[in-house]
Chains A and B, each alone.
Chain A
C-alpha cells in the first residue's frame, strides 16, 4: 500500500473529485475539483476511473513523499513541479520511485494544479465524495485542507499505456462565456452593455466559494429588491456595489443578489485557473 506523506501543506491543498450532488436542497454545495477539466484529464492520464480522488493544489504547492513506486500525472496550472529537485513534465504519466519527493516552485501560469496517482485511493467519502466541506466548521474543526503529517493511502495499479498532452488551452483563456441569468431582464440595456464591455480584474477576495471582481460599477437603478433564490456554480450576481460576484463550486446554494449571467461549464474551469490581478471579460455564449 502506497502512503503519500504531506511534509509541507502548501497554500490550500485538498482532496477533490467529481463532488457531491443531491444535497443542494440542504445547503450543501456540490464542491469537487474547481477545474473539472484539468481534474478529469489527470485521471485519464493514469488510467484511473472517473471520479477517483486527486490532490488539488493552489498557487503554492505542497511537499509530498512517496513510500513506494507508483505512476502519477500533474495537470492544470504550471506550478513548477519537481521530483527530488528536478523539474518534471506536466500532462503526462510520470514514474515515481519509492522515497521520491514531489515539490513545487514558482507559479508560472494558472492557479490550481491536480495530482493524480494510478490506483484506488483509500479515502473516506461523505455523501458520495472525498471533497471536504471546506468552509463549514464541524465539531469545531473544518473538514479540511491537508496538513503537514497527513498521510494518504493508495492501492496502486501498474500503468499499461498512456497518452501525453502538449498543453491545456483553457488556462490562458481570458474570456468567460456566459448565458443570460434568471434576473437578466431586471437590468437596463446600459447595464448589460457595461457588463460585457469591461475588462474586469480578479480581486484578492477569490476562493473556492466565489470570485469577486473589480471594475466599474454597473447601473442598478432598474433593480427591485430581490427575493433570495437558488444559485449554482457559475452564477454571476451583481452585488450592492454594482460589481460581479461569481459563485464557484464550494459557494452557498442560496443568494439574494440579482443574477445577471451564468458561466458555461467550460468557463467555470477557466475561472478556476485565475488568481488575484488576472483580467477577464464576459462574452455571450452561442447556445
Chain B
C-alpha cells in the first residue's frame, strides 16, 4: 500500500510497503533515485528507511502540495526497481575475539549456539543497509539468520565502544562512535565507519550490500596502525558493482 502525506511544513512522507524486506526497500531506493534530479532544486534531503522515504523540502523553491500530487501521479513508474542504480558491496573486517565480543558469551547461552556458530552465521551472508540513523553513520542492516534473533539488552550500556558490531532483533549494526546503547555486541571493526575529518565521512549509505569477514586480533591491530599512519584507504572496502 502506497501513501503520500505531508510531514510538517517542510517535508513529505511516502510509504511504499508494509514490511521489512529487500523487495520493499528496493522501492524506497528506486523512488529516492527517481527524485534525485530535484536535489538542490526544491528537495533538500532524503531519509530512506525500511518501508518509507521522507523527503525534505526547500519551500522557497518547491510547493509541498504540488510535489505530493506529482509523486502520487508518478507512481508506480517511479518505483520500478529495474531502474535502480548499481549497488555497492562493502566488506567489513571484524574481530570477534573475547576482547571485543562483549556479549557473545551470554548470547551464546540464550541462543543455544556456540560462539563459533554465531560468528559463522554472522559472516555467512550478505546484508542490506536499510537505513542510517540513531547516530550519524549508524547502519541498520538485515536480515540476519533467524537463529541469531536476539532482543536488545534489558539494561543498555552507558558506553558502547566505537566500531562495536552488534545484533538486535533480526538486525545487525555497527556503532560509528562511542555511545550509550542496547545492542548485543559480538565484535569490533578496526575501521572508522564515521570520521568527521575525512572527506567522505560516512562509509555506508542506504542500499549498500555488506558482508563481514572475521579477522584475528593481530590483524585488527595491524589495520589500526595503518589507519593511524594514514596508510589505509577506506574506499578499498567498497566494490562498485557495475
Contacts and interface: CB of A to CB of B under 8 A. Distances in A.
A133 B6 CA distance: 28
B135 A136 contact: yes
Interface residues of B, number: 44
Interface in B26-70: 39, 44-54, 56
- Chain A interface residue number, banded: 35 or more
Interface stretch (A112-120, A200-208, A261-269): A261-269
A133 B48 CA distance: 21
A26 B134 contact: no
A241 interface: no
A33 to B, nearest CB: 16
B98 to A, nearest CB: 23
- Which of A27, A138, A143, A229 neighbours the largest number of chain B CB atoms within 10 Å of its CB? A27
B13 interface: yes
A229 B3 CA distance: 13
B84 to A, nearest CB: 16
Given A136-B136, A137-B177, 15 more contacts: A25-B132, A26-B136, A26-B202, A133-B196, A137-B162, A182-B3, A182-B15, A227-B19, A227-B50, A230-B7, A230-B11, A232-B54, A232-B56, A234-B8, A265-B10
Interface in A222-250: 227-235
A191 B15 CA distance: 23
B136 A28 contact: yes
B45 A254 contact: no
Contacts of A179: 6, 8-9
Contacts, number: 121
Interface of B: 3, 5-11, 13, 15, 18-20, 39, 44-54, 56, 131-138, 140, 162, 177-179, 196, 201-202, 205-206
A230 B179 contact: no
Main secondary structure, interface of A, reads: loop
Nearest to A29: B136
Given A25-B206, A254-B49, A232 B7 contact: yes
B133 A27 contact: yes
Contact of A230 (B3, B49, B140): B49
Contacts of B10: 232, 265
B8 A254 contact: no
Interface of A: 21-28, 126-127, 133, 136-138, 140, 143, 179, 181-182, 227-235, 252-254, 262-265, 287
A134 to B, nearest CB: 12
A64 B95 CA distance: 48
Given A24-B45, A182-B5, A230 B136 contact: no
A215 to B, nearest CB: 22
Contact of A26 (B9, B11, B132): B132
Contacts of B131: 25, 228, 254
A233 B44 CA distance: 14
B7 A181 contact: yes
Contact of A253 (B8, B47, B52): B47
A25 B8 contact: no
Contacts of A182: 3, 5, 7, 13, 15
Contacts of B201: 26, 127
A256 to B, nearest CB: 10
Contact of A254 (B11, B47, B205): B47
B178 A24 contact: no
